[in-house]
Structure 1
Protein backbone atom coordinates (compact mmCIF):
# COMPACT_ATOMS: atom_id res chain seq x y z
CA UNK A 1 0.00 0.00 0.00
CA UNK A 2 1.31 3.46 -0.91
CA UNK A 3 1.52 6.29 1.50
CA UNK A 4 -1.43 8.63 1.77
CA UNK A 5 -0.67 12.14 0.56
CA UNK A 6 -1.40 14.91 3.02
CA UNK A 7 -3.99 17.18 1.44
CA UNK A 8 -4.16 20.82 2.43
CA UNK A 9 -6.01 23.68 0.75
CA UNK A 10 -2.81 25.72 0.48
CA UNK A 11 -0.91 22.78 -0.95
CA UNK A 12 -3.61 22.20 -3.55
CA UNK A 13 -3.61 25.92 -4.41
CA UNK A 14 0.17 25.80 -4.89
CA UNK A 15 -0.26 22.93 -7.34
CA UNK A 16 -3.19 24.72 -9.04
CA UNK A 17 -0.98 27.79 -9.54
CA UNK A 18 1.69 25.60 -11.10
CA UNK A 19 -0.87 24.13 -13.51
CA UNK A 20 -2.11 27.58 -14.53
CA UNK A 21 1.45 28.91 -14.94
CA UNK A 22 2.63 26.00 -17.05
CA UNK A 23 -0.48 25.07 -19.03
CA UNK A 24 -2.95 27.96 -18.71
CA UNK A 25 -6.29 28.42 -16.96
CA UNK A 26 -8.21 25.98 -19.19
CA UNK A 27 -5.95 23.13 -18.00
CA UNK A 28 -7.06 23.58 -14.40
CA UNK A 29 -9.62 20.87 -13.68
CA UNK A 30 -10.34 18.81 -10.61
CA UNK A 31 -8.87 15.77 -12.37
CA UNK A 32 -5.71 17.60 -13.44
CA UNK A 33 -5.25 19.01 -9.96
CA UNK A 34 -5.76 15.60 -8.36
CA UNK A 35 -3.24 13.98 -10.70
CA UNK A 36 -0.63 16.71 -10.24
CA UNK A 37 -1.07 16.66 -6.45
CA UNK A 38 -0.95 12.87 -6.29
CA UNK A 39 -4.36 12.58 -4.63
CA UNK A 40 -7.79 11.34 -5.64
CA UNK A 41 -10.45 13.55 -7.21
CA UNK A 42 -12.42 13.04 -4.01
CA UNK A 43 -9.46 14.36 -2.06
CA UNK A 44 -9.51 17.55 -4.12
CA UNK A 45 -13.28 17.83 -3.80
CA UNK A 46 -13.00 17.54 -0.04
CA UNK A 47 -11.22 20.91 -0.11
CA UNK A 48 -12.85 22.39 -3.24
CA UNK A 49 -16.29 21.27 -4.36
CA UNK A 50 -15.83 22.51 -7.93
CA UNK A 51 -13.45 24.10 -10.40
CA UNK A 52 -15.15 27.42 -9.64
CA UNK A 53 -14.31 26.97 -5.96
CA UNK A 54 -10.65 26.42 -6.88
CA UNK A 55 -10.69 29.52 -9.10
CA UNK A 56 -12.35 31.61 -6.37
CA UNK A 57 -9.72 30.44 -3.87
CA UNK A 58 -6.87 31.30 -6.29
CA UNK A 59 -8.32 34.74 -6.99
CA UNK A 60 -8.86 35.25 -3.26
CA UNK A 61 -5.26 34.27 -2.58
CA UNK A 62 -3.90 36.61 -5.26
CA UNK A 63 -6.14 39.44 -4.03
CA UNK A 64 -4.93 38.96 -0.46
CA UNK A 65 -1.29 38.98 -1.64
CA UNK A 66 -1.92 42.16 -3.65
CA UNK A 67 -3.69 43.85 -0.71
CA UNK A 68 -0.72 42.97 1.50
CA UNK A 69 1.64 44.60 -1.04
CA UNK A 70 -0.66 47.64 -1.22
CA UNK A 71 -0.71 48.14 2.52
CA UNK A 72 -3.14 50.64 4.00
CA UNK A 73 -2.54 54.11 2.56
CA UNK A 74 -4.67 56.85 4.12
CA UNK A 75 -8.14 56.92 2.50
CA UNK A 76 -8.07 60.70 2.15
CA UNK A 77 -4.94 60.70 -0.05
CA UNK A 78 -5.79 59.41 -3.56
CA UNK A 79 -2.34 60.17 -4.97
CA UNK A 80 -0.59 58.17 -2.26
CA UNK A 81 -3.05 55.34 -2.83
CA UNK A 82 -2.27 55.25 -6.57
CA UNK A 83 1.48 55.41 -5.96
CA UNK A 84 1.17 52.42 -3.64
CA UNK A 85 -1.10 50.72 -6.19
CA UNK A 86 1.55 51.16 -8.91
CA UNK A 87 4.24 49.77 -6.60
CA UNK A 88 2.04 46.80 -5.63
CA UNK A 89 1.20 46.17 -9.30
CA UNK A 90 4.88 46.23 -10.21
CA UNK A 91 5.76 43.81 -7.40
CA UNK A 92 2.82 41.49 -8.01
CA UNK A 93 3.53 40.98 -11.69
CA UNK A 94 6.27 38.50 -10.88
CA UNK A 95 3.61 36.21 -9.42
CA UNK A 96 0.64 37.07 -11.62
CA UNK A 97 1.58 36.32 -15.21
CA UNK A 98 -0.64 36.46 -18.29
CA UNK A 99 -1.80 32.85 -17.92
CA UNK A 100 -3.05 33.56 -14.41
CA UNK A 101 -4.74 36.70 -15.66
CA UNK A 102 -6.54 34.53 -18.22
CA UNK A 103 -7.92 32.51 -15.31
CA UNK A 104 -9.30 35.78 -13.96
CA UNK A 105 -11.21 36.27 -17.21
CA UNK A 106 -12.83 32.83 -16.78
CA UNK A 107 -13.58 33.69 -13.17
CA UNK A 108 -15.49 36.80 -14.25
CA UNK A 109 -17.86 34.76 -16.41
CA UNK A 110 -19.80 33.90 -13.25
CA UNK A 111 -22.23 36.76 -12.40
CA UNK A 112 -21.54 36.47 -8.65
CA UNK A 113 -17.79 36.76 -9.22
CA UNK A 114 -18.33 39.70 -11.55
CA UNK A 115 -20.42 41.49 -8.88
CA UNK A 116 -17.67 40.90 -6.31
CA UNK A 117 -15.07 42.35 -8.68
CA UNK A 118 -17.27 45.35 -9.51
CA UNK A 119 -17.72 46.00 -5.79
CA UNK A 120 -13.94 45.95 -5.35
CA UNK A 121 -13.53 48.54 -8.11
CA UNK A 122 -16.31 50.69 -6.63
CA UNK A 123 -14.34 50.69 -3.38
CA UNK A 124 -11.20 51.81 -5.20
CA UNK A 125 -13.03 54.61 -7.00
CA UNK A 126 -14.55 55.73 -3.69
CA UNK A 127 -10.97 56.21 -2.45
CA UNK A 128 -10.12 58.14 -5.60
CA UNK A 129 -13.13 60.45 -5.45
CA UNK A 130 -12.86 64.21 -5.51
CA UNK A 131 -12.91 67.11 -7.94
CA UNK A 132 -9.42 68.48 -7.39
CA UNK A 133 -6.49 68.05 -9.75
CA UNK A 134 -4.77 65.50 -7.49
CA UNK A 135 -7.84 63.25 -7.36
CA UNK A 136 -8.25 63.52 -11.14
CA UNK A 137 -4.56 62.71 -11.73
CA UNK A 138 -4.83 59.75 -9.35
CA UNK A 139 -7.87 58.38 -11.23
CA UNK A 140 -6.16 58.72 -14.60
CA UNK A 141 -3.01 57.01 -13.29
CA UNK A 142 -5.10 54.19 -11.81
CA UNK A 143 -6.92 53.71 -15.12
CA UNK A 144 -3.59 53.65 -16.97
CA UNK A 145 -2.28 50.90 -14.69
CA UNK A 146 -5.48 48.90 -15.15
CA UNK A 147 -5.12 49.35 -18.92
CA UNK A 148 -1.62 47.90 -18.69
CA UNK A 149 -3.06 44.95 -16.79
CA UNK A 150 -5.56 44.35 -19.61
CA UNK A 151 -2.73 44.53 -22.14
CA UNK A 152 -0.95 41.88 -20.14
CA UNK A 153 -4.03 39.64 -20.05
CA UNK A 154 -4.19 39.82 -23.83
CA UNK A 155 -0.47 39.09 -24.25
CA UNK A 156 0.24 42.51 -25.76
CA UNK A 157 3.17 43.24 -23.53
CA UNK A 158 6.54 41.82 -22.64
CA UNK A 159 8.41 42.21 -19.36
CA UNK A 160 10.64 45.09 -20.48
CA UNK A 161 7.91 47.29 -21.92
CA UNK A 162 5.67 46.56 -18.93
CA UNK A 163 8.17 48.09 -16.51
CA UNK A 164 8.86 51.03 -18.83
CA UNK A 165 5.15 51.77 -19.18
CA UNK A 166 4.65 51.67 -15.40
CA UNK A 167 7.59 54.08 -15.15
CA UNK A 168 5.80 56.39 -17.62
CA UNK A 169 2.66 56.38 -15.47
CA UNK A 170 4.67 57.24 -12.38
CA UNK A 171 6.55 60.06 -14.17
CA UNK A 172 3.32 61.59 -15.47
CA UNK A 173 1.68 61.30 -12.05
CA UNK A 174 4.74 62.97 -10.51
CA UNK A 175 4.59 65.76 -13.11
CA UNK A 176 0.89 66.38 -12.43
CA UNK A 177 0.92 66.29 -8.63
CA UNK A 178 4.45 67.06 -7.52
CA UNK A 179 6.53 65.52 -4.77
CA UNK A 180 6.36 61.75 -4.19
CA UNK A 181 5.30 60.42 -0.77
Structure 2
Protein backbone atom coordinates (compact mmCIF):
# COMPACT_ATOMS: atom_id res chain seq x y z
CA UNK A 1 0.00 0.00 0.00
CA UNK A 2 2.98 2.30 0.41
CA UNK A 3 3.49 2.01 -3.34
CA UNK A 4 -0.16 2.87 -4.03
CA UNK A 5 0.11 5.94 -1.81
CA UNK A 6 3.34 6.99 -3.53
CA UNK A 7 1.77 6.58 -6.97
CA UNK A 8 -1.21 8.67 -5.88
CA UNK A 9 1.01 11.45 -4.53
CA UNK A 10 3.16 11.43 -7.68
CA UNK A 11 0.50 10.98 -10.37
CA UNK A 12 -2.74 11.98 -8.68
CA UNK A 13 -5.82 9.82 -8.24
CA UNK A 14 -6.21 9.21 -11.98
CA UNK A 15 -2.71 7.73 -12.05
CA UNK A 16 -3.54 5.10 -9.46
CA UNK A 17 -3.80 1.90 -11.48
CA UNK A 18 -2.80 -1.69 -10.84
CA UNK A 19 -0.17 -1.29 -13.57
CA UNK A 20 1.27 1.89 -12.03
CA UNK A 21 1.54 0.27 -8.60
CA UNK A 22 3.16 -2.83 -10.12
CA UNK A 23 5.66 -0.69 -12.04
CA UNK A 24 6.47 1.31 -8.90
CA UNK A 25 7.14 -1.92 -7.02
CA UNK A 26 9.01 -3.56 -9.89
CA UNK A 27 6.62 -6.52 -10.06
CA UNK A 28 3.99 -7.76 -12.48
CA UNK A 29 0.38 -6.64 -12.54
CA UNK A 30 -0.52 -10.13 -11.37
CA UNK A 31 1.63 -9.63 -8.29
CA UNK A 32 -0.48 -6.65 -7.26
CA UNK A 33 -3.73 -8.37 -8.24
CA UNK A 34 -2.84 -11.32 -6.05
CA UNK A 35 -3.38 -9.09 -3.02
CA UNK A 36 -5.85 -6.62 -4.50
CA UNK A 37 -8.22 -8.02 -7.10
CA UNK A 38 -9.16 -4.59 -8.40
CA UNK A 39 -8.38 -0.93 -8.13
CA UNK A 40 -11.49 -0.61 -5.98
CA UNK A 41 -10.22 -3.15 -3.45
CA UNK A 42 -6.84 -1.38 -3.40
CA UNK A 43 -8.56 1.94 -2.64
CA UNK A 44 -10.66 0.29 0.07
CA UNK A 45 -7.52 -1.15 1.66
CA UNK A 46 -5.78 2.24 1.53
CA UNK A 47 -8.75 3.91 3.18
CA UNK A 48 -8.99 1.23 5.87
CA UNK A 49 -5.28 1.53 6.60
CA UNK A 50 -5.57 5.29 6.92
CA UNK A 51 -8.55 4.97 9.27
CA UNK A 52 -6.65 2.54 11.51
CA UNK A 53 -3.52 4.71 11.61
CA UNK A 54 -5.62 7.80 12.22
CA UNK A 55 -7.48 6.17 15.13
CA UNK A 56 -4.19 5.08 16.68
CA UNK A 57 -2.71 8.57 16.37
CA UNK A 58 -5.81 10.26 17.80
CA UNK A 59 -5.65 7.88 20.77
CA UNK A 60 -1.97 8.80 21.24
CA UNK A 61 -2.83 12.50 21.28
CA UNK A 62 -5.30 11.93 24.12
CA UNK A 63 -8.13 14.12 25.24
CA UNK A 64 -8.91 16.92 27.63
CA UNK A 65 -12.66 17.36 27.17
CA UNK A 66 -15.79 16.05 25.43
CA UNK A 67 -14.67 17.58 22.13
CA UNK A 68 -11.42 15.59 22.35
CA UNK A 69 -11.53 13.78 19.02
CA UNK A 70 -12.04 17.03 17.12
CA UNK A 71 -9.43 18.95 19.12
CA UNK A 72 -7.04 16.00 18.78
CA UNK A 73 -7.70 16.02 15.03
CA UNK A 74 -6.52 19.63 14.86
CA UNK A 75 -3.28 18.58 16.58
CA UNK A 76 -2.99 15.64 14.18
CA UNK A 77 -3.41 17.81 11.09
CA UNK A 78 -1.05 20.46 12.52
CA UNK A 79 1.78 17.92 12.34
CA UNK A 80 2.47 18.29 8.63
CA UNK A 81 4.77 15.29 8.54
CA UNK A 82 5.05 12.30 6.26
CA UNK A 83 2.80 10.31 8.57
CA UNK A 84 -0.06 12.82 8.52
CA UNK A 85 0.29 13.55 4.78
CA UNK A 86 0.33 9.89 3.81
CA UNK A 87 -3.36 9.37 4.53
CA UNK A 88 -4.47 12.09 2.16
CA UNK A 89 -3.99 10.08 -1.04
CA UNK A 90 -6.36 7.37 0.14
CA UNK A 91 -8.92 10.00 1.07
CA UNK A 92 -8.50 11.72 -2.28
CA UNK A 93 -8.80 8.60 -4.41
CA UNK A 94 -11.72 7.45 -2.30
CA UNK A 95 -13.61 10.65 -2.92
CA UNK A 96 -12.82 10.97 -6.60
CA UNK A 97 -13.15 7.37 -7.71
CA UNK A 98 -16.11 5.90 -5.95
CA UNK A 99 -19.53 7.05 -4.81
CA UNK A 100 -19.47 4.41 -2.06
CA UNK A 101 -16.21 5.80 -0.67
CA UNK A 102 -17.57 9.34 -0.95
CA UNK A 103 -20.34 8.21 1.39
CA UNK A 104 -17.73 6.97 3.89
CA UNK A 105 -15.75 10.20 3.72
CA UNK A 106 -18.89 12.30 4.16
CA UNK A 107 -19.90 10.14 7.10
CA UNK A 108 -16.43 10.50 8.64
CA UNK A 109 -16.56 14.30 8.43
CA UNK A 110 -20.17 14.43 9.63
CA UNK A 111 -19.26 12.32 12.67
CA UNK A 112 -16.47 14.77 13.58
CA UNK A 113 -18.72 17.80 13.22
CA UNK A 114 -21.54 16.11 15.16
CA UNK A 115 -19.21 15.61 18.14
CA UNK A 116 -19.08 19.36 18.62
CA UNK A 117 -21.66 21.16 20.75
CA UNK A 118 -22.35 24.13 18.49
CA UNK A 119 -24.83 25.62 20.96
CA UNK A 120 -21.85 27.18 22.75
CA UNK A 121 -19.36 29.82 21.66
CA UNK A 122 -16.53 27.36 22.38
CA UNK A 123 -18.19 24.73 20.20
CA UNK A 124 -18.68 27.12 17.31
CA UNK A 125 -15.02 28.19 17.58
CA UNK A 126 -13.95 24.55 17.60
CA UNK A 127 -16.06 23.80 14.51
CA UNK A 128 -14.57 26.78 12.69
CA UNK A 129 -11.05 25.76 13.77
CA UNK A 130 -11.65 22.20 12.53
CA UNK A 131 -12.83 23.43 9.14
CA UNK A 132 -9.97 25.94 8.92
CA UNK A 133 -7.37 23.28 9.72
CA UNK A 134 -8.81 20.87 7.18
CA UNK A 135 -8.90 23.57 4.53
CA UNK A 136 -5.36 24.75 5.20
CA UNK A 137 -4.00 21.19 5.34
CA UNK A 138 -5.63 20.14 2.08
CA UNK A 139 -4.71 23.37 0.29
CA UNK A 140 -1.06 22.89 1.26
CA UNK A 141 -1.07 19.16 0.54
CA UNK A 142 -2.49 19.49 -2.96
CA UNK A 143 -0.33 22.46 -3.86
CA UNK A 144 -3.23 24.89 -4.06
CA UNK A 145 -1.20 27.31 -1.96
CA UNK A 146 2.53 27.34 -1.47
CA UNK A 147 3.70 27.89 2.07
CA UNK A 148 6.83 27.21 4.01
CA UNK A 149 7.05 25.71 7.45
CA UNK A 150 7.15 29.09 9.20
CA UNK A 151 3.91 30.22 7.57
CA UNK A 152 2.35 26.83 8.31
CA UNK A 153 3.29 27.13 11.98
CA UNK A 154 1.71 30.59 12.07
CA UNK A 155 -1.53 29.22 10.65
CA UNK A 156 -1.47 26.32 13.10
CA UNK A 157 -0.94 28.73 16.01
CA UNK A 158 -3.93 30.80 14.87
CA UNK A 159 -6.15 27.74 14.47
CA UNK A 160 -5.15 26.34 17.87
CA UNK A 161 -5.77 29.75 19.47
CA UNK A 162 -9.20 29.84 17.84
CA UNK A 163 -10.03 26.31 19.01
CA UNK A 164 -8.85 27.04 22.54
CA UNK A 165 -10.55 30.44 22.76
CA UNK A 166 -7.29 32.35 23.08
CA UNK A 167 -6.46 35.59 21.28
CA UNK A 168 -4.35 35.18 18.15
CA UNK A 169 -0.78 36.41 18.34
CA UNK A 170 -1.38 39.21 15.80
CA UNK A 171 1.52 38.20 13.58
CA UNK A 172 2.69 35.08 11.87
CA UNK A 173 6.07 33.58 12.64
CA UNK A 174 7.29 34.12 9.07
CA UNK A 175 7.14 37.87 9.55
CA UNK A 176 3.92 38.47 7.64
CA UNK A 177 1.75 41.10 9.24
CA UNK A 178 -1.75 40.01 10.24
CA UNK A 179 -4.60 41.96 8.64
TM-score by length of 2: 0.74
* Structure having greater relative contact order (Cα 8 Å, sep ≥ 6): 1
Match of 2:157 among 145, 148, 167: 167
Greater mean alpha carbon deviation, residues 112-121 or residues 53-62: 53-62
- Corresponding residue of 2:92: 105
- Corresponding residue of 2:147: 158
Q: Where in structure 2 are there 5+ consecutive unaligned residues?
A: 168-179
Cα distance in 2 for residues equivalent to 1:170 and 1:132: 17
The Cα shift of 1:114 comes to 0.7
CA RMSD in angstroms, aligned pairs only? 2.8
Q: Where in structure 1 are there 5+ consecutive unaligned residues?
A: 1-12
What do residues 33-63 of structure 1 show as CA deviations (whole Å, max 9, x unaligned)? 2233233212211211222222222222222
Match of 2:123 among 104, 116, 135: 135
Cα distance in 2 for residues equivalent to 1:159 and 1:54: 33
Cα distance in 2 for residues equivalent to 1:50 and 1:92: 31
Go from structure 1 to structure 2 and tell me whether the alpha carbon gap of 1:150 and 1:92 turns closer, same or farther (over 3 Å shift): closer
Cα distance in 2 for residues equivalent to 1:21 and 1:59: 15
Contact 1:21–1:100 (8 Å) recurs in 2: no
Greater mean alpha carbon deviation, residues 167-176 or residues 43-52: 167-176
Greater mean alpha carbon deviation, residues 143-152 or residues 100-109: 100-109
- Corresponding residue of 2:173: none
> After superposition, where does 1:28-39 map in structure 2 within 5 Å?
28-39=16-27
Please state whether the residue corresponding to 1:86 is helix, strand or coil.
helix
Match of 2:137 among 133, 139, 149: 149
Contact 2:116–2:123 (8 Å) recurs in 1: yes
Match of 1:121 among 106, 109, 119: 109
Go from structure 1 to structure 2 and tell me whether the alpha carbon gap of 1:104 and 1:83 turns closer, same or farther (over 3 Å shift): closer
Contact 1:20–1:100 (8 Å) recurs in 2: no
The Cα shift of 1:69 comes to 1.3
Contact 2:8–2:89 (8 Å) recurs in 1: no
Structure 1: 4+ residue segments shifted above 6 A? none
Match of 1:77 among 63, 66, 77: 66
TM-score by length of 1: 0.74
